[in-house]
Chain A
Amino acid sequence: MKRVRIGGGQGFWGDSPDAAIHMVRHGNLNYMACDYLAELTLSIMQRQKMKNPKAGYARDFIDLMEVIGKEAFEQKIGIITNAGGMNITGAVEALAETARQQGLHGYKIGYVTGDDLMEKIPDMIAQGCKFENMDDAGDFRDIQDKLVNANVYFGREPIMECLREGADTVITGRAADSAMFLAPLAYEFGWKEEDMDDLARGIMAGHLLECGGQGSGGNFQYDWRGVPDMDRLGFPIAELTEDSFHITKAPECGGLITEQSCKEQFLYEVHDPANYITPDVTVDISRATLTQDGENRVKVGNIKGKKKPDMLKLCLGYHAGYKVVTYLSYAWPDAYEKAQYAADILMKKMKRKGMQYEDIRIDYLGLNALHLDVAEIDDELIKRTNEVVLRIAIRTKDKKNAKMIIPEISPLQLNGPPGASFFGGRAHVTDVIGLWPTLIPRDAVTLQSHILEVE
């Protein structure tokens, strides 16, 4: 019986390459998919590309392929990644150069273009597309002139096209995370549009793998102390046949695969479990099962698929102002009171100087900066607190107002309550990029699959 093993090599842009390298060498893989794109990553990449036309993709992927590209090619492990970001051809050229240097003759790089719809937006507006915000937030006309990027989430088909053309590696932009995993599975098993339960299995394989270590013991609330060897955490691997689906990991690495580790990832960023919408299929996991089936091996069952949605999700990034975050630390005695007083002084000063802001947040790290209203604080805790860090964050419409607060922070060491220590360096202004998710008709999108062969 045909069996396909696919690994999740990267969970985000900036992830450790260690597990990906390990699974290529010891995971007995057929494929590995590497996810680099979170919701706002493309906006960041677009801004990098505007500064440097050669940037705008996840360079980490090229660095990873310098280590494992040759081994993967020789062992016929197909690699699929969305590392292309906002500069897919840039990523392809960089990878081709790496492959040339390693003498990988005949190495085929497939790539998919067409998810970047930025240039089409004016036409779509003219055609009556409303770009209504999926989260019922605001009016599109207010952000229309501030767009940074516009990328549509797409499904398996153009990736499969590259695989059919013999691609060893496929590079995309905004493929849906799970489509990178579904594509090779649907290609290997010959799943058709009507095989909706199978497509749904492929999506959930991707879902359990796309966050890398978070699917194998990382960020594990159930029993984080019980996760073996987190210093060499292995990432999850999905093993599928025509009628079975398991999650496991490579031998000789850390981490664990248990019912609980799979459960925590299973519903991660899922909303309605009976209608988990992807470009390829609407997945129903509302009656799914996860069963331990040996050490570091979990069987996944009863995943159902329903008709795919008529619309595709388009994510627009837009300029939404500026932000400054700054810190000052205070120690016992009266650490909290001193920090509060410093915040008070600062706010009075800024008011006098006429600083205009959209929003402000004052938090106390060590007390309530993470759990906010849910944090339990009482007089006894405050009295005994060894140290707190005052954190002030402001958001402004323009850069000028954001800059005003920066020179006022460090003087508080000498001009404010005692014992303040300024840390994290002088604050700087960062751009705020807003996210505008919307739905567009499928026929507004044309994707192209290409192959580049290294000679």
Chain B
Amino acid sequence: MALVYLNTLAHGRSGDKGDTSNVCVFARDPKDYEFLKKVLTVERVKEHFGPMVQGEITRYEIDTLCGMNFVMKHALGGGATHSLRLDTLGKSMGSAFMRMKIEVEDKK
């Protein structure tokens, strides 16, 4: 087994609505989608973000696009302009998500 960044298996983008951040995550190779569905549980995502995301996380699946959408509440430090973060809109939440380390078979 080897550890790889999620970035090598998936891509996505983050957006904001108030203090809610959503990150959509798509399999780079459709063959990995089922594997990603197993790995990217809400619990795993919550653990990954830790105190950065204070609220509930919901996962939606869009099988036809080999993608998932993670909606994370109270995730932007209060949202624009309340938030004191540098990235008040969470533009980098997408890449922060892709930093997750995933265990894969060695051949990957």
Contacts and interface: CB of A to CB of B under 8 A. Distances in A.
A135 B65 contact: no
Interface string A365-386: 1000111111010000000000
Interface in B2-25: 11-13, 15-20, 22, 24
A290 B13 CA distance: 17
Contact of B64 (A270, A288, A325, A395): A288
A373 B52 contact: yes
Chain A residues touching B, range: 35 or more
Which residue among A285, A363, A374, A434 has the maximum number of chain B CB atoms within 10 Å of its CB? A374
A434 B82 contact: yes
A361 B98 contact: no
A263 B86 contact: no
A391 interface: yes
Contacts of A393: 84-85
A222 B64 contact: no
B80 A361 contact: no
Main secondary structure of the interface of B (DSSP, over half): mixed
Given A268-B24, A372-B52, A373-B49, A289 B65 contact: yes
Given A369-B86, A371-B99, A260 B64 contact: no
Interface in A247-266: 260, 263-266
A374 B48 contact: yes
Nearest to B98: A221
Interface string B45-58: 00011111000001
Interface of A: 39-40, 135, 137, 214, 219, 221-223, 260, 263-274, 285-290, 302, 320, 323, 325, 359-361, 363, 365, 369-374, 376, 391, 393-395, 430, 432-435, 437
16 contacts: A260-B11, A264-B11, A264-B12, A264-B13, A267-B65, A268-B24, A270-B24, A270-B69, A271-B17, A272-B60, A302-B64, A363-B86, A372-B52, A374-B50, A391-B86, A434-B82
> 3 tightest A-B contacts by CB?
A269-B15, A267-B24, A361-B84
Given A265-B13, A374-B99, 14 more contacts: A135-B18, A221-B12, A264-B26, A268-B24, A271-B58, A272-B60, A287-B64, A365-B86, A371-B95, A371-B96, A394-B84, A434-B81, A435-B18, A437-B17
